[in-house]
């Protein structure tokens, strides 16, 4: 709870005729100062034009939960499933459900609709991401249509410039437009599925929806192919922070039968380098972004390195508890609060086995702030630091 509290920005009072909510927000999540205009428009439209109340509902891309929790509080949906690819959003949505006494609303991780609890839903709602790209938007609408029960309804909101493309996708479906309402910046819309199902609930593959580019990554004079995805850092190549981390890792003594942990895995460059070089025998991947975890895992498998599901951790914390590692490495996210970084340093110190090494990279200012946390951990010492173009990397070693 201490880690989650470090991300809290403020409490937003969301007042509507049919429901009043107090919502904790985070600056690391969308619309932290107030419930956004698009969500409010969509809620007004659903209240006025949805044909009925619904038994099963899913909120896709729930953030901290304003849309799904409002529907649960109003009684328009008896059971609300909320999904997001960001573990921080899932934690905040569940925290807000508990805070507002909404036991019928639960949040969990899912990449779009690929990891949901139910096969069909009476109501699907989404504040569709404006910067996700055409393929992602089209997949969300099409997969949403495929997951509707007979006469189920999909209600969404988009920024106005995107509406024509979304409308063209809806026009391809066997559906009936229930209502469209255009605001100054957003368009809210709803459609109802016609007829019965053909049984198809399959989503497109990860590469079809999110694929961006193919990058050659060289480790120990061997070339590996990285298939990058949209919406994940380093889709067009290595960042300066990752380059510095790789340089530091090259100086770490090899411990071939040991295991390592990589947090904030991005496209998978760091775990690929560790396994391909033989520096460690196994790697645990940790990230709060489910898309990043899936991308890194697919890139490892594509190049002959298997990573079982048990070694993937979708969470906000840098490391899983009660596990020791010979090597820990990762790149700091730019939106991590200072206290969250302090907690991360504590987890690194606790998670390293005696004599173990950590290589952490990021912006120079966040790294400098992180190093101040070492004053409270006498068992962790700074071995080396390098800087390049606003980025920095450090090698730390645990005593023992």
Domains of the chain: 2-203 (3.40.50.150), 207-398 (3.40.50.150)
Q: What is the pLDDT of residues 88-98, one digit of tens each?
A: 999 999 999 99
Q: According to the model, what pLDDT value does residue 375 have?
A: 82
pLDDT band at 237; cut points 50, 70, 90: confident
Q: Does the structure show a pLDDT above 60 at 303?
A: yes
Q: Does the structure show a pLDDT above 90 at 393?
A: yes
pLDDT band at 119; cut points 50, 70, 90: confident
Q: According to the model, what pLDDT value does residue 359 have?
A: 97
pLDDT band at 236; cut points 50, 70, 90: confident
Q: Does the structure show a pLDDT above 80 at 254?
A: no
Q: Give alpha helix (H) positions in 83-237.
A: 87-99, 134-146, 163-171, 206-210
Q: According to the model, what pLDDT value does residue 378 have?
A: 85
Q: According to the model, what pLDDT value does residue 197 have?
A: 62
Share of the chain above pLDDT 90, in %: 78
Q: Does the structure show a pLDDT above 90 at 24?
A: yes
Contact 178, 123 (CB under 8 A): no
Average pLDDT value over all residues in the chain: 92
Q: According to the model, what pLDDT value does residue 211 have?
A: 85
pLDDT band at 203; cut points 50, 70, 90: low
Q: What is the pLDDT of residues 331-384, one digit of tens each?
A: 999 889 999 999 999 999 999 999 999 999 999 999 998 998 888 888 999 999
Q: What is the pLDDT of residues 372-389, one digit of tens each?
A: 888 888 899 999 999 999
pTM of the model: 0.94
Question: Nearest to residue 64, comparing CAs of 3, 21, 19?
Answer: 21
| Ranges 69-78, 163-172, 309-318: which has the least confidence | 309-318
In the chain, DSSP assigns E strands to: 8-15, 20-26, 54-60, 77-84, 105-109, 121-127, 148-159, 175-182, 186-193, 211-219, 222-229, 259-263, 282-287, 312-314, 325-331, 352-363, 380-388, 391-398
Q: According to the model, what pLDDT value does residue 280 have?
A: 87
Q: What is the pLDDT of residues 177-197, one digit of tens each?
A: 999 999 999 999 999 999 766
- Element (DSSP H or E) covering residue 372: helix 364-372
Report the alpha-carbon distance of residue 63 to residue 31 in Å, rounded. 9
């Amino acid at each position: 709870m201490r880690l989650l509290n470090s991300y809290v920005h403020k409490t937003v009072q969301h007042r509507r005729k049919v429901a009043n909510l107090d919502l904790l927000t985070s600056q690391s999540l969308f619309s932290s100062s107030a419930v956004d205009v698009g969500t409010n428009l969509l809620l007004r439209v659903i209240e006025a034009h949805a044909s009925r109340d619904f038994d099963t509902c899913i909120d896709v891309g729930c953030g901290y939960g304003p849309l799904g929790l409002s529907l649960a509080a109003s009684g328009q949906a008896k059971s609300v499933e909320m999904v997001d690819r960001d573990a921080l959003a899932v934690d905040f949505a569940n925290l807000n459900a508990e805070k507002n006494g909404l036991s019928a609303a639960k949040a969990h991780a899912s990449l779009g609709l690929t990891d949901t609890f139910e096969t069909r839903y009476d109501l699907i709602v989404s504040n569709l991401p404006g910067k996700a790209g055409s393929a992602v938007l089209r997949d969300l609408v099409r997969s949403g249509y495929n997951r509707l029960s007979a006469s189920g309804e999909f209600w969404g909101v988009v920024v106005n410039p995107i509406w024509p493309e979304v409308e063209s996708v809806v026009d391809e479906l066997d559906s009936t437009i229930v209502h469209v309402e255009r605001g100054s910046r957003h368009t809210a819309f709803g459609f109802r599925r016609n007829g019965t199902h053909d049984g198809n609930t399959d989503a497109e593959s990860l590469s079809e929806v999110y694929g961006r580019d193919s990058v050659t990554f060289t480790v120990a004079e061997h070339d590996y192919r990285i298939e990058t995805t949209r919406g994940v850092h380093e889709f067009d190549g290595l960042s300066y922070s990752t380059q510095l981390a790789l340089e530091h890792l090259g100086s770490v003594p090899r411990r071939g039968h040991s295991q390592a942990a990589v947090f904030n895995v991005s496209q998978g460059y760091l775990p690929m380098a560790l396994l391909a070089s033989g520096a460690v025998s196994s790697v645990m991947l940790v990230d709060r972004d489910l898309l990043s975890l899936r991308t890194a895992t697919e890139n490892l498998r594509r190049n002959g390195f298997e990573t079982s599901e048990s070694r993937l951790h979708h969470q906000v914390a840098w490391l899983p508890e009660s596990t020791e590692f010979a090597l820990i490495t990762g790149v700091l996210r730019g939106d991590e609060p200072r206290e969250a970084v302090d907690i991360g340093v504590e987890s690194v110190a606790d998670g390293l086995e005696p004599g173990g090494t950590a290589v952490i990279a990021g912006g120079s200012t966040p790294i400098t702030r992180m190093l101040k946390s070492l004053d409270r951990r006498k068992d962790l010492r700074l071995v080396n630091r390098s800087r390049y173009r606003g980025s920095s990397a450090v090698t730390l070693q645990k005593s023992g």
